[in-house]
Amino acid sequence: MTREITPTSRTVSRSAQLQLLGAVAVYTVLGLAAGLFYREFTKLNGYPEGMMGQLGVAHTHILTLGMIVLLIVLVLERSFSLSSSRLFRWFFWIYNTGVVLTSAMLVWHGMLQVQGLASSKMIAGIAGLGHMLVGAGFVLLLLALLSAIRREE
């Protein structure tokens, strides 16, 4: 059975696609900026080249969790109209909140590492909360996908 495409469902899907594309663009800029910041901040502070730290992985996390994952979700939205499930809105905001919290804590902790300063349990706790939100977002995404697949039966 094929799904019926109505003008309303097409508008909702287009709106969700534009929202996802906007988020992809923001994460692309942030991810590239994080890589540039890492290079310049470590040079400025005399951090040994090639030495790994939290700051060095921030840009890859932002690009992967933000840009690549949401590009995949955009393709899924285009194929399955995930946004027709009310879980999709929950996924979008919970997942993105988690990515932003996790990324911010990576950058903050990484800056402290580069400067040779001690981190705090608060940073670890907030990063943990960010990871939990990312995980909850993935669960919501999978439930929205399941709902969309069942709708097509």
Position 51 scores a pLDDT of 75
Q: Identify the domain containing residue 58 by its residue range.
A: 14-150
Q: Is residue 133 part of a domain?
A: yes
Ramachandran category for residue 70: left, alpha or beta (phi over 0 → left; psi -120 to 50 → alpha):
alpha
Number of structural domains (the chain) is 1
Whole-number Å distance between alpha carbons of 140 and 95: 9
Q: Is residue 4 part of a domain?
A: no
User: Which of 66, 61, 59 has the alpha carbon at shortest distance from 38?
Assistant: 59
When mean pLDDT is compared across 8-17, 73-82, 110-119, the lowest value belongs to 8-17
Q: Residue 8 above 90 pLDDT? A: no
Whole-number Å distance between alpha carbons of 24 and 12: 18
Q: Is residue 93 part of a domain?
A: yes
Q: Calculate the CA 3 to chain-centre distance.
A: 29
Q: Is residue 6 part of a domain?
A: no
Position 147 scores a pLDDT of 94
And the tokens for 56? 């060095």
Identify the band that residue 1 occupies on the pLDDT scale cut at 50, 70 and 90: very low
Rounded to 5 degrees, φ, ψ at 46 are 65, 30
Q: Is residue 7 part of a domain?
A: no
Q: Is residue 3 part of a domain?
A: no
- Cα atoms in the 13 Å half-sphere on the side-chain side of 68: 8
Q: Is residue 43 part of a domain?
A: yes
- Higher-pLDDT residue of 12 and 25 is 25
Position 13 scores a pLDDT of 86
- Higher-pLDDT residue of 107 and 11 is 107
Identify the band that residue 12 occupies on the pLDDT scale cut at 50, 70 and 90: confident
- Higher-pLDDT residue of 46 and 28 is 28
Q: Residue 56 above 70 pLDDT? A: yes
Q: Is residue 33 part of a domain?
A: yes
